[in-house]
Amino acid sequence: MENKSAERTDEKLLQLGRRERQIMDVVYRRGKASVSDVRGDLPDPPSYSAVRAMLGFLEDKGHLRHEQQGLKYVYMPAQDTSEVRDSALQHMVKTFFGGSPERAVAALMEMSDARLTPRDKQYLSQMIKKAKQEGR
């Protein structure tokens, strides 16, 4: 049974336009971002005023919140990043891998630039062992 909160998050994110998704990507990647930060990270950025307006719209839609730092607003995700990450990952596995986590992990392992350190391999081994113990 899927998490209803994750489904709502998926639906909300899928309803965003291309530029809104780009802005959200910047904010998620940075954790916090001012209008100037966002504008600096966007490809072919619109005007400062346009970015400020889009951040306001994303806040109105419930995707962002802000804090005032001095004279500027700093925007951050309204939801916990790990919740959004889990939701996006569930959506990706469902959409591109037929709901199979095994196929998704295999695809990641087969990527030509996938370089796992011994520490990474140990961590993954521990996670597999834990999943087996939990019956997953």
Convert the pLDDT of each residue in 33-48 to its tens digit.
999 999 999 999 999 9
Domain boundary among 31, 46, 77: 77
**pLDDT, position 43:** 93
Looking at the fold, whether 19 and 63 belong to one and the same domain comes out as: yes
Q: How far apart are CA 116 and CA 114, in angstroms?
A: 6
Number of domains, the chain = 2
Distance CA 9, CA 79 (A): 9
Q: Is the pLDDT of residue 9 over 70?
A: no
